[in-house]
Amino acid sequence: MLMNVPKTLNLFAILLVSLLLLLAYGEASTDDLTAARPCRKLKFTAQPEPAIALSWITPMRSDDKKKLDLWCDTVGPALLRSPQEPGPSREGRIIVVNWNVHLGNGNVLELIDELTADERKAGRAEPHFVFLLQEAFRRGIDVPSEIRSDASVPGRIPSSADDIEALARKLDWWMFYVPSMRNGKQSGAAAEDRGNAILSSLPLEGLEAIELPFLVQRRVAVTATIHDRDRAHRFRVTTVHLDTRAPLSQGFIIGVSAARNRQAKWVAEAVAGPPSEGLSLIVGGDLNSFWGAFESSVDTLVKVAPQVDCGGKATHKLGFTLDHMFARFSSLLAPVSCRRPDNRFGSDHYPLILSLTPA
């Protein structure tokens, strides 16, 4: 019996060290969390329901998980909408727009009309569109009315615009929306949440929600595969919105670049994984990169996909360059140009417009 003591102790030591390392450093992804909380479910907003599931990638460090769960319980489920009618066959370019729409105040319909008119004037065929949106919002009874007293609820950013579901219904496009946080404390039909969305005239599949490590607010990046069925081609897109500041314990303003970089690393690891192999990848987001060249989050995402040159102009009305696009192209998809227009179309951010030519 005494001969087995060292082996038992060694096994115990290995398990103990593994547990300590996990608590100190480990972050793992899991889909098991989706079963417990309505906020991590996927709701279909149109019939018939497509055979599409939603995968979650969530940090499992205990300090992250507790806060993410608490914030998650204040919002409604993710939304997926598919068109009621088959979309028209379009042989033109694919235009990918990265844009913080400031709670729907950015006029997406006006921008679509202008970009479509530009393509027609240039003698090109009707384009397809893929919008990578930050600060989209949803209004209605799907957002919980009851909020726990210890739950943090951000103040409401006012908007009288259509919410993301109503916008997708007007366009009769595909839409995938995942709320990050609540938008104020309204209840009932007036309750709102806000987050990231992909709005596309092309079909969506391969849906992923990437909950970011918790800093000050819950943030969820959104990923999907775009399926250009007419040209038998697929590519991956991700939209992300990083925190504006760090917690007081991490330096508030001084430490925010390093704190945001933790979120960027989590996104980079998620989008660089097996689902994206062999496919073009486009990442767009509001990185809140106030520190410019000192923002390590930009450098982190560049390691996954090169940064797209959209002209180098400021992307926020106050003169900051907060918004960025990163892309890695396969031989089936080629970039033509990226630009920042001079019109914000009602938002406090300028859109970044990337034009692509499928092979």
Average pLDDT over residues 65-73: 94
Average pLDDT (294-312) is 94
- Between the ranges 50-54, 128-132, 271-275, where is the mean pLDDT highest? 128-132
Q: Residue 18: pLDDT above 80?
A: no
Contact 81, 45 (CB under 8 A): yes
pLDDT in tens, 103-160: 999 999 999 999 999 999 999 999 999 999 999 999 999 999 989 888 889 999 999 9
Q: Are 177 and 191 in contact (CB under 8 A)?
A: no
Residue with more model confidence, 24 or 342: 342
Q: What is the DSSP letter of 318?
A: T
Please give the pLDDT value at position 8: 41
Is 90 exceeded by the pLDDT of residue 80? yes
pLDDT of residue 250: 65
CB 268 within 8 A of CB 304: yes
Task: Output phi, psi for 44, to 5 deg.
Answer: -90, 130
Contacts of residue 7, Cβ cutoff 8 Å, sequence gap at least 6: none
Report the pLDDT averaged over residues 18-39.
51
Alpha-carbon 219 to chain mean position: 8
Domains and CATH numbers, the chain: 2-358 (3.60.10.10)
- Residue 210 is predicted with a pLDDT of 98
pTM: 0.89
pLDDT above 50 for 33: no
Residues 247-271: what's their mean pLDDT?
83
Q: What residue spans of the chain are helical by DSSP H?
A: 5-24, 62-72, 108-121, 164-171, 256-271, 296-302
Q: Is the pLDDT of residue 59 over 70?
A: yes
pLDDT band at 89 (very low <50, low <70, confident <90, very high): confident
Q: Report the mean per-residue pLDDT for the chain.
A: 88
- CA quadruple 120, 122, 123, 129: dihedral sign: negative
For the chain, percent of residues with pLDDT exceeding 70: 87
Whether pLDDT at 21 is above 50: no
**38 token code pair:** 């309505």
**pLDDT score of 5:** 37
Check residues 275 and 18 and name the one with the higher pLDDT. Answer: 275
- Higher pLDDT: 184 or 277? It is 184
**Choice between 247 and 27, residue whose per-residue pLDDT is larger:** 247
Q: What pLDDT, on a 0 to 100 scale, did the predictor assign at position 65?
A: 92
CB 186, CB 155: distance < 8 Å: no
Tell me the residue type at 327: A
Average pLDDT over residues 241-267: 83
